[in-house]
Structures are given as C-alpha cells and as structure tokens.
Amino acid sequence: MRLSTGRHRRTRTLSIAAAVAVASGACGVYLGLSNDGAEAATTVTVSTTAQLESAVANASAGTTIQVRGGTYYPTKTLKSTANGTSSARITLQAYGSEKVKIDGSKLPAGSWLAGIYGDYWTVQNLTWQKAPAQGFVATSSVGGIFKNLVTANNGDSGFTLRGDGTTNNLVQNLDSYGNYDPAGHGQNADGIAIKFGSGTGNKVTGARLYNNADDGLDLWQFSSPVLIEHSWAFGNGKNRWNDSAFEGNGNGFKLGGGGASVAHSVNNNAAWDNTLHGFTENSNTGAILLNRNTAYSNAQTGFYFATGKARLARNLAVGNKKGLSKLGGSTVTAANNWDSGVSTPSFKSTDATTAYGARKADGSLPATTFLTTGSTTIGSTMN
C-alpha cells in the first residue's frame, strides 16, 4: 500500500492582482501565488545542512529545493514520504551549475543517505557519497526522474529502486562507482540495484557503473521488465579494499535472479574488465532481449545465458577469458559474432582512458573511440 502524505493544494483569499513572493526565514523559502489565489510552486534555496534536512522533510507537491554549492553532512537520513503529481513535481537539485556533494560520513552506522518514498520526484545534478549503507534509495516510486547524479563510495549499493509499484522511473546519466559494503565483504554493493519489487516502465540510460564491489547493475528479484540502454559497466568485483574475506561478484549487467522470470530489454550497452561475466541472466528464465551490446575482456564469459529463453542479436564479444558466450538450448541467437558466418569487426581503440573522462555539458556519456568499430550492424555504438 502506498503511503499518502495527506497534503493538498490550498487556496488563499487574495485579490486577482496578487502575484507576490513571500520570503520566509533563513532557508530562503519563496512562495509564489497565482493570479487566482491558489498556491503555486514553492522554491526553497538552502545553504546549510539543517536547511537541507528540513526542506526534504517538509517538501510537498510543487516544491523545488535548490541546494547551493558545497558539501553537506546530514546527521540523519534525508527522508520523505511526500508525493508530487505529474503537474506539480517535487524537485531536489543543485542551484544552477553549482557543484553539490551530500556526504554521509557523519550518519549513524547502517544509515542510508537518502530515502524517498513518494511519487513524481525529480532529483538531479547532485553527488551522494560516503553513506554507511545505501547512497540513494527510492521505494515504490512512480514517475521519478533521477538525472545527472553521482553515487560514490557508499557502504552498500550506490543507487537503488525497490518495492512494488516502482513504475515509470527514469535513471539518466548516473555515475555510480566505488561502492562497497564492508559488513557483507562486498557481496551487496552494486552501482545500481533495481531489486525486490515490481512495476513497468522503468528505464536506465547513459549510466557508468564501475569499480563497485559487487555488480555494475543488478536486477535481483525485480519481476517486471526494465529497459537498460546506452550504459557501461566496467571494473566491477575487484577487491580494492584489501578485504581478506572479500565476496564481491563482479558481473557487468546481472539481469535477474531469485526466481524472477522476466523479459528485460538490454540494448546498446558495454561491459568490460569485470571479474565475472559481462552480461548474465543469473538464472532468470525469461525471454530477455539483448541487442547490439559489447562484452570485452571480462574474466569469465562475455554473455552467459545458459538456462533461460533469452534472445540475443547483433552482440559482440571479444577477449573474454572463458569464452565469447555460454548459451542454453532455449536461447535464441542470431547475427552475433559467435554465430556462423558473422565476422568480428576490429575495434578502433582498446584504450579505455577516454571512457573515464568528463561527461558532456548535458550530462551524457563522454565521446570515445574505445570499443567502437564503425559498424552499423553489430556491437555497442559507445554513446
């Protein structure tokens, strides 16, 4: 059952001519009033941690929270159960082009950095780092837009969508790296986790998921199709934390598990230098669709789909230590470079340096020739 905040739009008995802004307190709250007297959007500009905590806790439909540049150290999880609407979203974002880091290093042990339990949130242009547990978690979110975010060096997965009723969310241009769960010896900290839930219309695009203790992307026990496109997962599963009992997996894209049978769509992505597989069903028996993906130099197979009904077309696997692919009898495969009569095009570059570079001004992936081939028919276009 979805939580309800019980908040409703209010009217005010002001003249039609009233279109004013009322400043309120040190937080810089500005309440705009529409010509008919109905309450319009509220903009809150914050510059201290206390103001940020208060603004998130008290947000309601139509609220925009603008965070001034700097580093903020919450002492409790930034949490909200407020719902926006499709026409009055709740927005949490950096002020203009200012750089904002929200740092969890002062939170109690086991704490998430942010927990959103509401619908129609836009969260953008922020870095979430160093939480004791998860960095950013959205539970049973409808219509969320999570854009141009960084989730780094957290004590569990960097970015998480979870819960039933997780519907029509967009995760765009996420950088999630260095996440590691010391309590689990690295076995749970993914770049992005879409887990333990259901809901259609969820999309991940333009993500870089790298150097995490566990997997780049993990869809464990999520029972509805997710679209994954134009994203890169690399360097996952390596023990960078000198953990003598390290248990991180290290798949690039883990596309299920835990009994779910679901047809995710995975288009135009790349996985390289992971300690397990580039792309794997992880025992998901559903008809996963994989089209024009590239797996390069992973420690196991490029594409591991041994038990399900996956459909693979125009994928490219090169230099994976345990083979290009491992496919089961129910897998449908055509026009991949392991199929008969399909040639393997040459890469323009195998130097990944530019893939780590700065994103473009709009937040999209950096330009690179790494793993590109110029082919219009096979493998990732790396953009």
Q: Which sequence positions are flagged as catalytic?
A: 254
Under 8 Å between Cβ of 202 and 178: no
Cβ-contact 287, 331 below 8 angstroms: no
Name the region of 125 (left: φ>0; alpha: ψ -120 to 50; beta: rest): left
Half-sphere exposure of 325 (CA within 13 A, CB side): 27
What is the layout of strands, in order, in the sheet containing 70-72?
70-72, 100-103, 127-129, 150-152, 175-177, 208-210, 232-234, 270-272, 294-296, 316-318
> What torsion do the CA atoms of 64, 70, 75, 76 make, to the nearest 10 degrees?
30
Question: What are the φ and ψ backbone dihedral angles of 50, each rounded to 5 degrees?
Answer: -60, -40
Look at residue 52 and give its three-state secondary structure. helix
Half-sphere exposure of 266 toward its Cβ, with a 13 Å CA cutoff?
36
Check: CB of residue 174 under 8 Å from CB of residue 151. Answer: yes
